Structure 1
Amino acid sequence: MTVSIIIAVKDYGKNLKECVDNCLRLDYKDYEIIILPDKSFNHSFPASVRVIPTGEVTPPFKRDIGAKEAKGEILAFIDDDAYPDRNWLNEAIKIFKEDDNIGCVCGPAVTPSSDGIKEKASGLVYSSFLVSGNHIYRYLPKKRRESIDFPSCNFLIRKSLFLKIGGFEKPYWPGEDTFLCLKILKTGKKIIYDPKVLVYHHRRPLFKAHLKQIRNYAFHRGYFVKRYPENSLRIEYFFPSFFVIGIIGGFLLSLYFTFLFSLYIFILFFYLFLVLTNSAVSAFQEKVNLVNKIKLFFLVSSGIILTHLFYGIYFIKGLLTHKMPEE
């Protein structure tokens, strides 16, 4: 099967170079690479790499353009700040060949060992069960399964299916992958996750960039819960908002009902115990020196708490939003 690797990007940079270099080293023969920057740049690539300027449009629009230009039977979407394992395409194509009803294949986006401390901390926050729950398979290799919603940073789809459903189509970003997955599921095709379909994904550093990303994810997810409930209405997405409401509501109630104050404090301390324990285990499993393990512990623990708060607040905002700005 022929493959077109599609990379949406604003401009040429070190992350794109790393991504393309690793794509060129893949243990697979029949593939091309399509890079979709805002405008052309002065950098030479091998003949298997095509650069198609798109103008200043969002990643989903870029990917739709790339899909129309693609020559491959399979479209392999990867972010410019990610890079694939050498067996990425081999493992994915094996799965496509198992069953014609498999429309898409995806896999984990693991934090690279080369990332800095703040980026590692962001990755540990995402891969914490306290943050991602049963969705941690998006960030760590876990057992094979069917999925109903998966990020487009590591997402492969049959070109015929992609064109049939109209591509990404909607201007959502982030959240474009949720809408795409919903359209795929409506065709009856399967989305298969496999841990061997592996890419490495650089994280946004804690705190500002990480929390900005969380804010955007939460806002769109809150909106999608009511707009596209088929694959977004999941109880786990509400938990951070329950947490925020519990923090505020519990405090106010304990002011009026003093017998609740002890219970409120107990729950807060139990929550902190879970966060600190989880952060310590994650931090001290990392292959870094002791000083950096301690730094990671404090970054991850505070990162988990802030992620819960930001997600909870902006999920509610999305839930109450009548229409997205990009619609």
Structure 2
Amino acid sequence: MPKLPRVAVIIPAYNEENVIGNCIESLLRQTYENFCAHIIDDQSTDTTQQIIRRYAEAYPNKIKLQFFGKLGPGKARNRVATEVAADIYAFTDADCEVTPRWLEELIRGIDFEGVVSCGGPQLAHPTSTDFQQKLERFFSLTSPLIDFYQNKTDISETRHNPLCNVAYRSEVFRSLKGFREDLFPGEDVEIDLRIKQRGHRIHYNPRAIVFHHRPESIAQFKKVMRAYGRAQGKLFRESGPRRTIQYIGIIASLFTFGIIIASLLLQNLGLLVAALLIVAGFYFIRPNSESLLSILLNSLEWFNGFLIGLFTNKSPPPGMNIGTKHDVKT
């Protein structure tokens, strides 16, 4: 019988005391046995580290606590990957719960000639609130633009998998020097671009499922949109458009600036005032209710982030938990 690939599951965590225990419990229910989970506490100020330590002491062969000080998610993931020997690196988030066959299905999806990575769907957590379910519907409706969902029923080739549910062959991950540490979020999109540029293949397995907690409020949702927009703007500036949503971002930006420039050239004060009102509304006037309309309007914060990423070189701070209830955000 062939030897099962050794898998290192790598999970950064910051102030996740309410969810990290359930995440670890889901890992302990895996049908795939040849793995060890390395959970990095990124200098949490709550009891996250103590919770991880309790599990590490109870299951020393399956759970390892890692602590390197304050690194941020990209550096933390890369640090473990450089220090831990494994055939496969699998990644999920601390606010995710993986299904029992998660690792088994990731390995099944990666076990093809030329395939170096495999991921799967991230679904709303079963305990989601009404607002989080509305977010799920929004993401589902916009999935053709943002690659959030893939309507596939079997293992198939894809361009990109989310970092909360993905695995890479370790030799390829190391040869690429891991994730970009100056890009958060969006480092998963960027590494998949490099993988494809090298001629490798990426698979998607709809049976490799994780449940992911969605933002709990409109304020958190806006931060998510801004952060992801900024990452896409930065990637657009560096390497041009690679995704549908980037085209939309640059078209919307050009349209807005075009109205302002046209009004100035035509010396049309009324048009200029109207243009400035549109821009002001775009950036500042958003309803705070939790309706689908509010979600749609606040998703425009993505374009705000896109412009920031497009025109500035500022790297994100090493915070985590974009869109969760904790205070350290990007």
Instruction: Assess if the C-alpha contact under 8 Å between 2:118 and 2:161 holds in 1.
Output: no
1:299 aligns with 2:291: yes
- What is the rounded CA distance, in whole Å, between the counterparts of 2:257 and 2:130 in structure 1? 32
For 2:304, the equivalent position in structure 1 comes to 313
For 2:278, the equivalent position in structure 1 comes to none
- What is the rounded CA distance, in whole Å, between the counterparts of 1:44 and 1:235 in structure 2? 44
Distance 1:302 1:115, change over 3 A: same
- What is the rounded CA distance, in whole Å, between the counterparts of 2:27 and 2:196 in structure 1? 29
Of the three residues 179, 183, 207, the one matched with 2:218 is 207
1:165 aligns with 2:176: yes
How many residue pairs get matched? 279
Q: Which amino acid aligns with 1:64?
A: N
**Structure 1 unaligned spans of 5+:** 257-295
SS class of match (1:311) = helix
Instruction: Assess if the C-alpha contact under 8 Å between 1:121 and 1:205 holds in 2.
Output: no
Instruction: Assess if the C-alpha contact under 8 Å between 2:117 and 2:202 holds in 1.
Output: yes
Q: Which amino acid aligns with 1:320?
A: F
Instruction: Assess if the C-alpha contact under 8 Å between 1:242 and 1:312 holds in 2.
Output: no
For 2:77, the equivalent position in structure 1 comes to 63
1:221 aligns with 2:221: no
Deviation at 1:165, TM superposition (A): 1.2
For 2:130, the equivalent position in structure 1 comes to 117
Root mean square deviation of aligned Cα: 2.8
Distance 1:102 1:18, change over 3 A: same
SS class of match (1:36) = strand
How many percent identity over aligned positions? 23
For 1:198, the equivalent position in structure 2 comes to 209
For 1:15, the equivalent position in structure 2 comes to 19
Q: Which moved more, 1:72-81 or 1:110-119?
A: 110-119
Q: Which amino acid aligns with 1:149?
A: H
For 1:28, the equivalent position in structure 2 comes to 32
Distance 1:236 1:32, change over 3 A: same
- What is the rounded CA distance, in whole Å, between the counterparts of 1:173 and 1:204 in structure 2? 17
SS class of match (2:207) = coil
**Structure 2 unaligned spans of 5+:** 44-48, 269-288, 318-330
- What is the rounded CA distance, in whole Å, between the counterparts of 2:50 and 2:163 in structure 1? 25
- What is the rounded CA distance, in whole Å, between the counterparts of 1:148 and 1:139 in structure 2? 12
Q: Which amino acid aligns with 1:316?
A: L
- What is the rounded CA distance, in whole Å, between the counterparts of 1:142 and 1:149 in structure 2? 14
Instruction: Assess if the C-alpha contact under 8 Å between 2:10 and 2:90 holds in 1.
Output: yes
For 1:283, the equivalent position in structure 2 comes to none
Deviation at 1:168, TM superposition (A): 1.2
Deviation at 1:159, TM superposition (A): 0.9
1:324 aligns with 2:328: no
- What is the rounded CA distance, in whole Å, between the counterparts of 1:74 and 1:3 in structure 2? 5
For 1:153, the equivalent position in structure 2 comes to 164
Instruction: Assess if the C-alpha contact under 8 Å between 1:225 and 1:233 holds in 2.
Output: yes
Deviation at 1:154, TM superposition (A): 0.8
Deviation at 1:90, TM superposition (A): 1.2
Instruction: Report which of the two has the higher share of helix.
Output: 1
For 2:243, the equivalent position in structure 1 comes to 234
TM-score (norm 1): 0.76
- What is the rounded CA distance, in whole Å, between the counterparts of 1:94 and 1:325 in structure 2? 36
Distance 1:126 1:104, change over 3 A: same
Of the three residues 35, 41, 46, the one matched with 1:37 is 41
- What is the rounded CA distance, in whole Å, between the counterparts of 2:174 and 2:106 in structure 1? 20
- What is the rounded CA distance, in whole Å, between the counterparts of 2:181 and 2:84 in structure 1? 20
